[in-house]
Structure 1
Amino acid sequence: MSVITGAWHGLFAGLFDDAAVFPPGNLPLAEAVPAHRAHRTAWYADAVGPLLCGAGRLGELAAATASSAADGAPLRVGLVLPGGSAELAPALAAAAPFEVAGVELATRDAREAVAELDRLLPPDVPAAVELPRELLRGDGLDETLDVLVDSAYRAKFRTGGLAADAFPGEEELAGFLTGCAQRGLPYKCTAGLHHAVRHTDPVTGFEHHGFLNVLLAAQETDRSAAAAVLAERDGEVLAKAVRALDDRQVTVIRNSFTAFGTCSIAEPLDDLAALGLLSPSPLPQEDR
């Protein structure tokens, strides 16, 4: 069964990278591996990206993979390298048992990161480069995006975390999105986007961006227009805008916003179902 109904089903294809082992989910790898394999064979499999794993846990991942039931296909893994370029070579070596679906490299020096990726990364493996948000303020944003647009790599932007100040405001996120859109630079996001619509978390009080807001804002090149889309809190308004997208707009959006990491696959799918944007096929209880 197709995950998404309508001509715009590609809007959500491969959008949800499986970050189950990262905070706040923190699922043990011994549980995350079979859960990911179940996602990859479920009716919503087309929406699920690779299992994300930090560089320091690849040995543990190999053990968990060996002990889990498998169909013989190598596990698709996205390598997350918070320690920068120094982790790249050993992580690629440790990832030999897996199909490396991508690399996400955190750095304070975009030029150095690009040079190391050019030197060490196999040409068929995509990568994304993340700089700390404080380095992307003022001229730093343009300088970083200009470095990346001349490379083979995506940008990566952190949209949340475990503290209120880890969540960028609408204007800050809009600056990143439109800066990328103006350059034709693809990007992925991470953290804080479990739900479809912008909202205030009732427990923490944190202001979360919605992934539908970000998808719709991804087609904007004007910062004020993008910020207005990011600020929208009415799910029906966003769902109506999604239903109005044509194939060209979907292509533009997904060529820009390629994926985001979520520690829950069920939550975003549940939100889409509640907004009438999914085929009526309920998630199995074990996937919740």
Structure 2
Amino acid sequence: MRLPPVFHGLCDDAAVFPPGLMPLAEAVPAHLRHKASGHAELIGSFVVAAPALKDLEPLLPDGERLDLVVTVPAGPEHVTGALAEAAALPNVRLVAIEVAVPEGMPPAELFGVLDRMDSDVPVFVEIPRDERRPGLIAALPGTPYRAKFRTGGVKAHLYPDEAELADAIRAVVEAGVPFKATAGLHHAVRNTDPETGFEQHGFLNVLLATGAALGGASRADLATVLARRDGPGLAGALAGLDATAVRERFLSFGTCSITDPLTDLANLGLVAGGGDPA
């Protein structure tokens, strides 16, 4: 399968998270099959929450490396412990930590805790969807930390609308802060989920909105891009995208299904050759 560079490493494998909730014992071998498949270029890292690290070692086969992202939902004070647990695992390369920001913790305190880590592993700060967001994004430039946005979840209110996500993308692009997304980006194109009725963002929309933000587009223009539902039109617009510049900003997104993004790309004619989903 030939995969355009704009999609390389775009999909982090978050199979163990909702709504997929694949058991860890099944998710690890499935991830390794994806990484050995014809669509391996699409696949980024395997994502687990810190509490699951204790269950990971028996599932790691000899001779195969697992690139790992660890989420730390309990906050920055627990990052050091997660780093130590991950470092003790055989055949694992820790590529990133994702940390939640506790309620009431100001940016200076957050960064102060993170700065005490004795590690060069990249850290993504989950940006809250409240009044703290502008100040936290404004504080990120000049630090080694990156941004993470939630774009969905298991309830409708967990999905930011186009205007909110446009604001977030515009803010980090203007600040020069790389970002990743998690939850809700199951499909390439903006859609209404037929089972839940949730309005879901598309990862092609996010790629194109990031490109538009790099070009100085307004919040309204970005919201328009995020609202588009014309798959062929979005696919065609990728030809005008500076893929390198966009992917330096929009690094990846976590998805509980690798098959869904792959199938959408194939249906839009954006990947060539037959797929072999795990």
State the TM-score bracket (shorter-chain normalisation): over 0.9
CA distance in 2, matches of 1:188, 1:277: 22
Within 2, Cα distance between the matches of 1:282 and 1:178? 34
CA shift digits 1:51-91 (9 cap, x unpaired): 101010101112222xxx44x14321101001111221111
CA distance in 1 between partners of 2:145 and 2:21 (Å): 28
- Please say if 1:217 is aligned against 2:209: yes
Instruction: Give the letter aligned to residue 27 of structure 2.
Output: A
Distance 2:20 2:118 in 1: 29
Selected match of 1:227 from 223, 226, 236: 223
Q: Offset of 1:153 from its aligned partner? A: 1.2
Aligned partner (choices 60, 70, 75) of residue 66 of structure 2:
75
Q: Could you tell me which residue of structure 2 aligns to residue 250 of structure 1?
A: 243
Task: Render the CA deviation track for 1:166-220: whole Å, top value 9, x for unaligned.
Answer: 0000000000000111111110000000100001111111000000000000022
State TM-score, norm by structure 1: 0.89
Are 2:112 and 1:115 equivalent residues in the alignment? yes
1:283 aligns with 2:260: no
Structure 1 counterpart of 2:84, from 81, 84, 93: 93
Long gaps (5+) in structure 1: none
Matched, 1:43 2:34: no
Aligned residues, how many?
268
CA deviation vs aligned residue, 1:234-278 (integer Å, no higher than 9, x gap): 101101101333xxx112211111010000111101000000000
Aligned partner of 1:18 among 13, 19, 25:
13
User: 2:26 is aligned with what amino acid?
Assistant: E
Tell me if the contact between 1:266 and 1:283 (Cα under 8 Å) persists in the aligned partners.
Answer: no
Structure 1: how far apart are the matches of 2:122 and 2:220?
Answer: 31
What root-mean-square deviation, in Å, do the aligned CA atoms of Structure 1 and Structure 2 show?
1.3
Percent identity over the alignment is 46
Unmatched 5+ residue regions in structure 2? none
Work out the CA distance in 2 between the residues paired with 1:206 and 1:29. 27
Runs of 4 or more off by more than 2 Å in structure 1?
108-118
CA distance in 1, matches of 2:148, 2:130: 14
- Give the match for residue 171 of structure 1: 163
